[in-house]
Amino acid sequence: MSLRGETTVGTFKASISSQDNVTDQPKRRKIIYIVYLIAALDVTWMFLQFSVTPYLAKKLGFDTLWIGYLQTTVGVIQLLGGPLFGRFADLFGARAALSLACSAAIASFLLLAIANHPAMLFIHKLPTVFMHVLPACQMVVADLSEPEKKADGLSKLGLCFGIGMIVGSTMGGLLSTRYGQTFTSCFAAAGNVFSLLLVLKFIPKTTKAQTPRTSTDSEKKNKSLFDVGEITRLMKFPGVTPTFLVKIIAGLPSGIFQVMFSIIALDFFKLQPQENGYLMAYFGIVQMVIQGAVIGRLTARYSESSLLLLSVGVSSLVGLAQAYMQNVFHFCLIVLPMMFALSMFGVITDSILTKSVPSSDTGTMLGLCASVQSLLRTVGPTAGGFLYVNYGISSFGLIQCSVNIVVFVYLLQCQLKKTAKQKE
């Protein structure tokens, strides 16, 4: 598009914004608050499921190896489904995307409720190909937030995650103990029905910016959901591929540690189930504080490139500390900078990537971002198991430290080059 064409479209958007600013802003804030509620509820129902699946798997005869296969299956399914779901959200709008995600969750939890055979545990994971409520919520927040407040808006979803993790873990343990696994699964399914009703009631059909219809828009609507070219073309936008590679490379070591944490808690820290529950609640509280009170203030004061550099630097120090920790008390101290680095890194990379593509493609971009987490869940159990058995827990920290130092040097060089060009 020519510079004149971009100016025309920008002028049109500015006129729309200035005309509707007074009436649209309260409505936008209301939609964003509803989305935060939907996200918190989704995480709550998800952690209800986590309180059921391991015990049901053990009841049906699964050993550690087969539980790993089950986790890998989910990772592969969501790895394939993430970009497709994002593309679906861009083509059909926020309401359709969130409705599909909630409906898939209902189907998955109902299948879990009737699971009475090992094969059923794998079958109940099939709907997870569309269970992407959080990426859909991220898309709505990214679409409705002002550019300078996008990172802050996305960070609040992390606050919702912390709330959902605490409530879901606590509620899941109580319901499973008192009423059994089938009731807990049905309760989670009913919760997703409530989330679906919220979507149908409050979420608009589309949250994309209103722009004049062109022949390009018509061509886009006619393209297939499974058009790989439409998904991969986002990598050609300036700055997208380097940021995406940084997201994968720097996030891989910490992702492997997270995947292996349940085994580390059991085998290295020797935690009992109740103690592990307390530790998970501690994670949730720390994440809530960081996402709700820290990240928003930092993004308002410092540039995203500086905060990305900070998060990678802190992550390298966290890896060094993990390599030498000896007990759960040491780990509780490490959790504070670890959660800061993870939260900041995720929010900033998502914000940079969504700003690098047109508003019409934010769903696809966030779907690709979600596929990174699925990739970690796919390779994490195998790579983590190999490292833990052969080199011990210190290997996770040393690899994380080394990889993040390399990424830190690369980002610092890029920032220095950019500063030098601006001075010229």
Distance CA 94, CA 90 (A): 8
Q: Is 176 exposed, middle or buried (0-12, 13-18, 19+ CB in 10 A)?
A: buried
Q: Residues 210, 215, 219, CA angle at the centre, nearest 5°?
A: 95
Q: Residues 119, 122, 128, CA angle at the centre, nearest 5°?
A: 155
Whether the per-residue pLDDT at 229 is higher than 90: the answer is no
Domains of the chain: 25-206+230-423 (1.20.1250.20)
Whole-number pLDDT of residue 309? 95
Distance CA 15, CA 196 (A): 34
Whether the per-residue pLDDT at 2 is higher than 70: the answer is no
Whole-number pLDDT of residue 224? 61
**pLDDT interval class at 197 (50, 70, 90):** very high
> Which two tokens mark 97?
């995307």
User: Which of 176, 200, 177 lies closest to 188, judged by CA?
Assistant: 176
Neighbours of 50 (CB within 10 A): 14
- Polymer length of the chain: 424
**pLDDT interval class at 22 (50, 70, 90):** very low
**pLDDT interval class at 21 (50, 70, 90):** very low
Instruction: Give residues with Cβ within 8 angstroms of 345, minimum separation 6.
Output: 247, 250, 251, 308, 311, 312, 315
**Among 50-59, 344-353, 357-366, where is mean pLDDT lowest?**
50-59
Whether the per-residue pLDDT at 216 is higher than 80: the answer is no
The mean predicted confidence, pLDDT, of the chain is 83
Which range scores top for mean pLDDT: 11-15, 205-209, 397-401? 397-401
Whether the per-residue pLDDT at 41 is higher than 80: the answer is yes
C-alpha atoms less than 13 angstroms from C-alpha of 45 in its C-beta half-sphere: 30
Whole-number pLDDT of residue 178? 85
Q: pLDDT tens digits, residue range 231-272?
A: 778 888 888 999 999 999 999 999 888 878 877 887 788 877
In contact, 41 and 194? CB cutoff 8 Å: yes
Whether the per-residue pLDDT at 185 is higher than 70: the answer is yes
In contact, 392 and 256? CB cutoff 8 Å: no
Distance CA 359, CA 356 (A): 9
User: Which of 147, 133, 204 lies closest to 363, judged by CA?
Assistant: 133
Whole-number pLDDT of residue 64? 63
Q: pLDDT tens digits, residue range 103-122?
A: 999 999 999 999 888 889 89
pLDDT > 70 in the chain, percent: 88
Q: Is 417 exposed, middle or buried (0-12, 13-18, 19+ CB in 10 A)?
A: exposed
> Which two tokens mark 91?
């083509």
pTM of the predicted model, to two decimals? Answer: 0.77
